[in-house]
Amino acid sequence: MENKKTFNLQMVKRLPLYVNALKKLRASGVEYISTTTLVKEMKLETMLVRKDLAGLGIPGRQKLGYKVNELLIAIDGYLGWNRYGEAFLIGAGALGSALMGYKQLEEYGLNIVAAFDVADSKVGKEIHGKTVLHLSKLPNLAKRMGVRSAILTVPPESAQTVADMLVMAGIRGIWNFSTKELHLPDQVICHNENIAGGLAAFSFKLKEMYDKETKNGQE
Amino acid sequence: MENKKTFNLQMVKRLPLYVNALKKLRASGVEYISTTTLVKEMKLETMLVRKDLAGLGIPGRQKLGYKVNELLIAIDGYLGWNRYGEAFLIGAGALGSALMGYKQLEEYGLNIVAAFDVADSKVGKEIHGKTVLHLSKLPNLAKRMGVRSAILTVPPESAQTVADMLVMAGIRGIWNFSTKELHLPDQVICHNENIAGGLAAFSFKLKEMYDKETKNGQE
């Protein structure tokens, strides 16, 4: 089970890369695309691209290949892209501020409508055109605006407390950058973004490479 | 093969979370830790924690459990943490600036020694205490400072061109945030950080949850 889930997740995470490539092709007037061209454009293995396309359930046309627009629509449908609608951001530190100014998120339809913090140094500050509000204002605003998604960029030690408060405020989805696993009720989904984990993976790959070279050098 | 690799990578990515938890315990005077306590602290499944500990190759002590310090040292050794040494950052936009000010990276030993960009609006600007340099200065500096790791936070359309330049300048490891798959020679490793992919995964999970609720409501 875990296995299957891992694979689906990897496919899901690749889809924005397809969207980028397909939009670029569409902008240059391409209507149909062959698997071969897509493989080349995506710089992925042929088998993987075939698997991803099969997963989307779009049939290719003999000789013509896939219709670029159909693929884009299929990806949209598969991801339920945009379901998060408007989102709150909690924790206006370096990472939080960056996400507020990160244009790619907007391109994918994620609209950060308000940012919150508790630090005197941050509340009231304007970041990328939005004023940081005190966290205590979140429950009322969530109710009034109907916001149900949140981006959590607080330090690990306050992550659970803030998450509990978000749940109480009716938040149903948390995109968690806090490097802390959260205890959440079943009706709330969470996706962990683990940048420290990415750094660990980067370090591990470097280690493997340098170790291999040292070993080869000794032989 | 691919399967195995995925699992190792997932374990590697969890290790910084262990480091956080173990350092917290050590700071509060804990010397030994049982699997049960670690499971509770990490909010992970018991089987997964056992598997991770086995992967690190540290034996538990009857009754006493694991020695906190030994676990931390084992993780350090496993990851080759710190092998990246000093790193350059290329692309001083919102995300790049955030990484320059993101204290967690420093805690894990990643030291961004210089930042580069090509935009007139960014070159010469000071970000978190460092002056952004023109990209053309990178090759000379890499040679002089012996820097071999780079963090790539440029837009997808310039990612490959910049990566080619980094390879020419002797960079051996690229932590790639550009949401673009890179073509690199064998002697250069790359770890892709796909934040747009994370957003896709977040969206997908929300969709699954809301779809399930709609279905249940109709039954």
Instruction: Out of A116-120, A151-155, B76-80, B157-161, pick the least confident.
Output: B76-80
What chain A residue is nearest to B175 in terms of C-alpha separation? A202
Residue where the block lists tokens 């190759």? B57
Question: Most A CBs within 10 Å: which of B177, B206, B210, as the mutation test of the A interface?
Answer: B206
Distances A47 to A44, A53, A214 between C-alpha atoms, Å = 9, 10, 34
- Of the candidates B113, B95, B73, which has an alpha carbon nearest to the alpha carbon of residue B176? B95
Q: Which residues of chain A are within 8 Å of residue B99 when distances are taken between CB atoms?
A: 94, 98
Q: Residue A13: which of B79, B180, B200 has the nearest Cβ?
A: B200
Q: Which residues of chain A are within 8 Å of residue B15 when distances are taken between CB atoms?
A: 197, 200
User: Could you give phi then psi for residue A58, rounded to 5 degrees?
Assistant: -100, 125
pLDDT digits (tens, 9 = 90+) for B22-34: 988 898 999 999 9
pLDDT of amino acid B218: 61
Q: How many CB pairs under 8 A join A and B?
A: 211
pLDDT of amino acid B60: 73
Please give the share of chain B, as a percent, with pLDDT higher than 90.
40
Interchain CB distance below 8 Å, A17 and B197: yes
What chain B holds in terms of domains, given with CATH numbers, is: 2-77 (1.10.10.10), 86-197 (3.40.50.720)
Q: What is the pTM of this model?
A: 0.79
Interchain CB distance below 8 Å, B179 and A17: yes
pLDDT of amino acid A90: 98
| Global ipTM | 0.82
Residue A173: pLDDT band by 50, 70, 90 thresholds? very high
Q: Which residues of chain A are within 8 Å of residue B84 when distances are taken between CB atoms?
A: 202-203, 206
3-class state of residue A146 by DSSP: coil
Region A69-85 average pLDDT: 81
Look at residue B195 and tell me whether its pLDDT is greater than 90.
no
3-class state of residue A40 by DSSP: helix
Q: Which residues of chain A are within 8 Å of residue B149 when distances are taken between CB atoms?
A: 206
Sign for the CA dihedral angle at A215, B152, A179, B31 comes to positive
pLDDT of amino acid B90: 98
pLDDT of amino acid B1: 36
- Of the candidates A94, A153, A41, which has an alpha carbon nearest to the alpha carbon of residue B100? A94
Where on the phi/psi map is residue A65: left (φ > 0), alpha (ψ -120 to 50), or beta? left
β-strand B126-127 against B130-134: which pairing, if any?
antiparallel
Question: Most B CBs within 10 Å: which of A104, A178, A183, A202, as the mutation test of the B interface?
Answer: A202
What chain A residue is nearest to B100 in terms of C-alpha separation? A94
Interchain CB distance below 8 Å, A20 and B156: yes
Q: Which residues of chain B are within 8 Å of residue A204 when distances are taken between CB atoms?
A: 12, 78-80
Please give the share of chain A, as a percent, with pLDDT higher than 90.
40
pLDDT of amino acid A83: 67
pLDDT of amino acid B126: 93
Interchain CB distance below 8 Å, B200 and A172: no
Q: Residue B201: which of A172, A191, A204 has the nearest Cβ?
A: A191
Q: Residue A179: which of B17, B179, B181 has the nearest Cβ?
A: B17
Question: Most B CBs within 10 Å: which of A5, A6, A204, A213, as the mutation test of the B interface?
Answer: A204
Look at residue A183 and tell me whether its pLDDT is greater than 50.
yes
Are A66 and A60 in contact by the 8 Å Cβ rule? The answer is yes
Region A30-36 average pLDDT: 91
Maximum alpha-carbon separation in chain B: 69
Amino acid making up residue B168: M
pLDDT digits (tens, 9 = 90+) for B87-132: 999 999 888 988 888 877 877 778 899 999 999 999 999 998 899 9
Interchain CB distance below 8 Å, A181 and B104: no
Can you tell me the distance from the alpha carbon of B142 to that of A63, in angstroms, rounded to the nearest whole number?
Answer: 48
Full DSSP string of chain B = -HHHHHHHHHHHHHHHHHHHHHHHHHHTT--EE-HHHHHHHHT--HHHHHHHHHHHTPPPBTTTBEEHHHHHHHHHHHHTTTTT-EEEEE--SHHHHHHHH-HHHHHTT-EEEEEEE--TTTTT-EETTEEEEEGGGHHHHHHHHT--EEEE-S-HHHHHHHHHHHHHTT--EEEE-SSS-----TT-EEEE--HHHHHHHHHHHHHHHHHHHHHHHH-
β-strand A130-134 against A126-127: which pairing, if any?
antiparallel
Residue B167: pLDDT band by 50, 70, 90 thresholds? very high
Classify burial at A85, counting beta carbons within 10 Å of its beta carbon; exposed 0-12, middle 13-18, buried 19 or more: middle
Q: Give exposure, B94-133, as e/b (b: 16+ Cβ within 10 Å).
A: bbbbbbbbbebbeebebebebbbbeeeebbeeebeebebb
